[in-house]
Amino acid sequence: MPTTATRTDDASPFAPPPPRPWYRRRATLLVAVLAVVVAVTVVTDLPTRPTHTNDVATAQSVITEAVNDTKPCNLGMTEAFGFYADVTTGHITAAHRAQIPALIRDDLDACSYTNASIDDLAGIDNPSSPTGRRLNVIATDVLVWCDPDALTAIGEITVLLDHPHDSAALAKLASAERLLTADRARSLAAIASLARTLGTTFHTKLELVTAPHSA
């Protein structure tokens, strides 16, 4: 009686497929993909040292923002000192004198945190690189020029417009003027020093009003 042979070699269509090599298994591939993703994320998040070109670009951007953010306060300071000069010298009409209270309130707002520009100036935050730290100091000095020093000066002028011989207001205005002058000198010196360090020239100039008699 003939016997039926049973195939047990690998060519049998019923034989189980051979196991995949370890490096082609699904679990191994998933682990490898996750490892690559984690590595890329870590490398991307690592702090990078800014290049000289980046430092110059960042510095120019911050100086330009400081110039733009202080423009309203500069205008307010100029106007307030102008009103003070006009009133104290008597070179002002009654109609113009009546407009001053509303206008000088606008000048006060221009140098306070109620103005979006001053709020933007206060929000400047640079990376913790040597250049970034110096820019943060400059931004802080410029902010101090606006508030409290310019704000204080304009506040005392509002008092002196109605009481020109008020000794306390005169003393506070003189003190504020000295602080404004020091703020301006410190800020401009820091900007010039940074420009020398970076070997560049900034394309915008910071204009900080001090007082008509002190440039």
How far from 146 is each of 27, 57, 97, 113, 192, CA to CA, in Å?
Answer: 62, 25, 25, 9, 20
The mean pLDDT of the chain is 83
User: Greater confidence, 180 or 9?
Assistant: 180
Overall average pLDDT of the 2-7 stretch:
46
In a domain, 130, yes or no: yes
Answer yes or no: is pLDDT of 149 > 50: yes
pLDDT digits (tens, 9 = 90+) for 177-197: 999 999 999 999 999 999 999
pLDDT digits (tens, 9 = 90+) for 35-44: 554 454 444 4
- The CATH number of whichever domain residue 88 belongs to comes to 1.20.120
pLDDT band at 34 (very low <50, low <70, confident <90, very high): low
Residues 6+ apart with CB under 8 A from 154: 76, 77, 80, 104, 107, 108, 111
CA proximity to 186, closest of 132, 108, 134, 117: 134
Overall average pLDDT of the 208-215 stretch:
68
Q: Considering its fold, how many domains does the chain have in total?
A: 1
Residue ranges making up the domain that contains 89: 52-198
Answer yes or no: is pLDDT of 144 > 70: yes
In a domain, 47, yes or no: no
In a domain, 106, yes or no: yes
In a domain, 40, yes or no: no
What pLDDT, on a 0 to 100 scale, did the predictor assign at position 179? Answer: 96
Answer yes or no: is pLDDT of 168 > 80: yes
In a domain, 105, yes or no: yes
In a domain, 116, yes or no: yes
d(CA 37, CA 97): 70
In a domain, 214, yes or no: no
In a domain, 85, yes or no: yes
What pLDDT, on a 0 to 100 scale, did the predictor assign at position 30? Answer: 53
